[in-house]
Every structure is written in structure tokens, then in C-alpha cells.
Amino acid sequence: MQRLEDWPTRLSEFIEARRERAFSWGDSDCCLFVCDGVEAMTGADPGARWRGLYASEKGARRVLRDNGGVAGIATLVLGAAVPPALAGRGDVVLIDTPHGEALALCLGGLIAAQGQQGIDFQPMTAAKAAWKV
């Protein structure tokens, strides 16, 4: 997977478009939010194999269980994790939330994560692991 030449603009436009999009299992959850962001930057949909497989928390938990959890899905798509200190803008990061682990996008000093009512921004220090895009 390779980033397109204009990926910084595409990432900014993606974040702006999704700023107030509410959480929805199988459409706008943490994993598919990140997959949509990666697709915006690369033109390739890393979430294609999971789209349409679930529309509920129960279904999402089954998909996660079958694929090694949230971190397992990131590793399947992007390869081995790296320390968060090596993450740059547009890379994928793992964070803890009150609901469990979640994937998010590194924006530099901030992380963009799918929240209940739109994007939640957190400091990059919240990242536990990262994957290069």
C-alpha cells in the first residue's frame, strides 16, 4: 500500500468530512474509520474484507475475535507494529478507550479517533502502538 502524492490534502479533507459523523457499527466504528482514512490517503480500501460482515457490537466482537483483536486487524493490513514514537502523520495508532482498545489516525501531535458523536482528538501520548501506512 502506497500513499498517493496528495495524501496530506486527502487526509485533511477526510478528517474534516468525518468531524461530526456519529459512531455506527459496521459503518463508522474505530476500525472502519481508520480504513476509510487509509483509503483516502492510498486509494486502496484495507477494510474491504470486513465491510458488510457486521452491523452490531456483537458482530464486531466476532470479527475482532476471529482476526486477533483490534491490533490483529491492523497487523493483518499494515504489517508489524512499531513504537508510537515512530508514528508520523497519517499512520495508524492503537489507543485505550472506556470501551476497550481502538484504532485511530496520527495527525502529528494529535490522534483522531472515531467517537460517539464524531471525531475525538487526543494527544499522541495516548498511543500504545503504531503501524506505518
7-131, which class in CATH? alpha beta
**Around Cβ 67, how many Cβ atoms within 10 Å?**
18
Burial environment of residue 108 by CB neighbours within 10 A (0 to 12, 13 to 18, 19 or more) = exposed
Burial 11-44 (b: 16+ CB within 10 A, else e): beebbeebeebebeebeebbbbbbbbbbbbbbee
The Cα 15–Cα 19 span in angstroms is 6
Domain ranges of the chain: 7-131
User: pTM above the 0.85 mark?
Assistant: yes
pLDDT (0 to 100) of residue 13 = 98
Whether 97 has a pLDDT exceeding 90, the answer reads: yes
pLDDT mean over 61-65: 96
- pLDDT category at 1 given cuts 50, 70, 90 is confident
Instruction: Note the pLDDT tens digit of each residue in 40-56.
Output: 999 999 999 999 999 99
